[in-house]
Structure formats: C-alpha cells, structure tokens
C-alpha cells in the first residue's frame, strides 16, 4: 500500500507527479532499489497491521537482519545528503517508526537518507542490537560515500530516543554526530520526572514498560539529565499531555552549555491532516497521556537562538497530543528544517 498521490505530490513539490503511475527509480545503492513512492508505505487513511509488520527493504549483511533504507531516487553521484538513523520505541518495530516520524515523505525534497531498523524483542538490547546498528551506519557511509554525508542525526521515539542518547556517546556515532532528535525520548538537561507525567495503568498505578507485567519498574536506557561532554544539536518534541503539570521547562541546561540565548517562542505549526499511526492496541486504561487516535493538530516551537558554532537547540510541544500519536506532515517538515539548519 503506497502513499496517496495528493499527499506525496504536496510533499515532494513540482514535478512529483511524474513519479506516479510509473515509480521513479534510481541506480541501486547498497543493493537497494530506490522507489518513489517508497515501498511498504501506508495510505493517508492509515496503516494496516500486515503492512506495518514488513521488516524492511535492505539487509545488514553481517547479521542478516533487515531494515528500511530510504533515499532520494534522483540522487546524483557525489551529491551531499543528510543521514538519519530513526529508532522506534519499546513495544514497536521499524515500519511503525517510519510512519510515526515520517521523514521518508521528505527524502527527495530535503535530500535525506534514512535507515529505520527493528530492535530485538520489540526494544533495543545492547548485547543483541548495538553491533547491528553500528553495522548499518558503517554500511550507509560506505554505500553513499563518507564525503557525501554532510550531516548525521540520531532520531528516536521513547525508548528509541533513550537508546539514541546512550549510543551518541559511543563510536561510530559520537565522532559523526550532528544532532539528536528526541521524540518523547528524553530532554537533555532534564530529569525524566521533570518533563514526563507518569503514564497511568489500570487502577491509576504507573503503567509497566511495554510487554512487562504490572509492577515492573521503568528502567531508562540513558539518563538525559546527564549532559554529554561534547557539543551537538538537540531537538526535543513532546505531546502536551505527556508533560507534568508544570509544563515545558522555561530554560535548557543544554542550551546554556552551548552558549545559546534564552528560550524564545518560535513558529506555530498548524496541521490539518493527521499523522499515519497511533497505538491501536486495546488499552487497559485509555488516557490522554498515552495518546489517542491520529488527528490534525497544532504545535508550538521554542528556540534557543545564537548557539555556539551554529548548533540548534529547540523544544516542540504538540498540543492536545500524548505519547503515541504519529507526527503530522507539517510539524515533521518543521523538524527537518531545523535539522538542516544546524551546522
């Protein structure tokens, strides 16, 4: 099932219609045939479970595990690209994340190369998954050419954000990192309890981690309040309902570390179209913190201007949204613009 002509054409810009009916193909990169619209893509009306379950169109050869590799089909030899490793949250898989943060829709317009893998046991296990992720990064750099990758970002939702935070202090991520997009996955300089309201389970008690029995404590893959000892850009996005009663903090220790200015309200981003995905499982205790169905919405961007060396620090709050509603097209594009603005 593919993205509709109307939505894709709007995202890709003029000339995109030429790709429809006869999908645009480029030379293979790493044995992966490029296709626009991309393969295994949900329709505007939502995603079906069999489609979301697709494991990918690329194979990491050392482990034999699949992942999604998306890149511009009109890529020219020697062209510069931005590479994003896009990690799903706990209880999820790669193609759900590919539609939760649907930067795949913007790969031609903004010259993006996106790797979206699936972790072990619906999560990220250092012993099982770290080499797999390192191999994917090495493979992408080899296939596209290190000199052609002008920026490298880690992006992740929930546990995927925490895992990004853990990985970025290690190689080969640290020496290549441009920035980290945290999608409800930790805000640099903030303790979890300062920005995240507890997700209630049955009886009002805190919900256990995905797939774990009641009473299992939450263990973080990385503590975002501990500031790394090197500089990179950081974009934090959250749903309004996920925040504590105090709301978004009015300052950022990470912005201070990078000598940025104070928090400044930026653009309001209005989306009249819903995202692709949400958590469709039956919830024992449905609540707005965990999230509802995909729907249109608005978001407020907060900037910290003038950061040292052209770094970007930003917070984004999506109004009337929780933890699991997929990002809408305009706020997705706003995040990509911020990523590309970072030096």
Q: What is the pLDDT of residue 141?
A: 98
CA–CA dist 255, 269 (Å, integer): 22
CA–CA dist 277, 118 (Å, integer): 17
Nearest 5°: phi and psi at 48? Answer: -95, 150
Q: Which residue has the higher pLDDT, 206 or 264?
A: 264
Helices (H) and strands (E) in the chain, counts: 9, 10
| Nearest one of 215, 147, 155 to 184, comparing CA atoms | 155
Q: Which residue has the higher pLDDT, 6 or 246?
A: 246
Q: How far is CA 143 from CA 35, 87, 102, 252, 262, in A?
A: 17, 20, 23, 37, 41
**At residue 250, does pLDDT exceed 50?**
yes
Q: How far is CA 341 from CA 86, 107, 268, 310, 312, in A?
A: 19, 16, 18, 8, 7
Alpha helix locations (H) across 171-328? 192-195, 253-257
Domains of the chain: 5-208+215-341 (3.40.50)
**How many residues belong to the chain?**
343
Nearest 5°: phi and psi at 260? Answer: -80, 165
* pLDDT, tens digit, 9 for 90 and up, residues 202-221: 666 666 655 566 655 557 89
Query: For residue 84, what is the enclosing H or E element?
Result: strand 81-87
Q: What is the pLDDT of residue 216?
A: 59
* pLDDT, tens digit, 9 for 90 and up, residues 109-138: 999 999 999 999 889 999 999 999 999 999
Q: Tell me the torsion sign for CA atoms 161, 45, 329, 288.
A: negative
Q: What is the pLDDT of residue 36?
A: 86
Within a 10 A sphere around the Cβ of 63, how many other Cβ atoms? 14
Residue 149 DSSP code? E
Within 13 A of 158's CA, how many CA atoms are on the CB side?
24
Sole residue written with tokens 């979301």? 52
Q: What is the pLDDT of residue 66?
A: 97
281 burial (CB, 10 Å; 0-12 / 13-18 / 19+) is exposed
What average pLDDT does the structure give for the chain?
A: 90
Q: What is the pLDDT of residue 62?
A: 96
Read off the pLDDT band of 316 (50, 70, 90). Answer: very high
Read off the pLDDT band of 280 (50, 70, 90). Answer: confident
Q: What is the pLDDT of residue 46?
A: 84
| Nearest one of 310, 309, 317 to 335, comparing CA atoms | 317
**Residues 158 and 185: beta-carbon distance below 8 Å:** yes
* pLDDT, tens digit, 9 for 90 and up, residues 23-69: 444 568 888 999 888 999 999 888 999 999 999 999 999 999 999 99
């Amino acid at each position: 099932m593919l993205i509709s002509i109307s939505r894709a054409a709007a995202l890709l810009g003029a000339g995109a219609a030429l790709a429809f009916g006869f999908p645009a193909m480029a030379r293979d990169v790493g044995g992966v045939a490029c296709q626009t619209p991309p393969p295994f893509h949900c329709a505007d009306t939502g995603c079906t479970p069999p489609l979301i379950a697709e494991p990918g169109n690329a194979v990491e050869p050392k482990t034999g595990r699949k992942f999604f590799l998306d890149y511009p089909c009109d890529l020219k030899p020697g062209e510069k690209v931005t590479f994003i490793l896009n990690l799903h949250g706990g209880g999820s898989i790669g193609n759900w994340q590919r539609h939760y943060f649907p930067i795949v829709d913007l790969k031609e317009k903004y010259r993006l190369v996106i790797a979206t893998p699936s972790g072990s046991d619906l999560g990220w296990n250092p012993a099982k998954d770290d080499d797999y992720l390192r191999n994917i990064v090495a493979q992408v750099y080899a296939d596209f050419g290190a000199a052609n990758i002008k920026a490298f970002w880690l992006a992740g939702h929930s546990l995927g954000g925490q895992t990004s935070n853990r990985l970025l202090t290690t190689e080969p991520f640290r020496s290549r990192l441009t920035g980290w997009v945290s999608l409800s996955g930790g805000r640099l300089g903030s303790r979890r309890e300062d920005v995240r309201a507890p997700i209630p389970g049955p009886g009002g008690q805190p919900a256990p981690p995905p797939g774990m029995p009641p009473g299992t404590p939450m263990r973080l893959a990385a503590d975002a309040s501990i500031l790394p000892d090197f500089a990179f850009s950081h974009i934090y996005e959250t749903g309004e309902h996920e925040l504590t009663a105090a709301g978004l903090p009015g300052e950022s220790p990470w912005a201070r570390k990078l000598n940025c200015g104070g928090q400044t309200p930026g653009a309001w981003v209005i989306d009249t179209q819903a995202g692709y995905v949400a958590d469709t499982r039956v919830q024992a205790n449905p609540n707005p913190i965990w999230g509802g169905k995909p729907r249109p919405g608005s978001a407020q961007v907060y900037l910290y201007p003038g950061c040292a060396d052209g770094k970007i620090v930003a917070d984004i709050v999506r109004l009337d949204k929780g933890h699991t509603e997929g990002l809408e097209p305009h706020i997705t594009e706003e995040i990509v613009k911020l990523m590309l603005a970072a030096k």
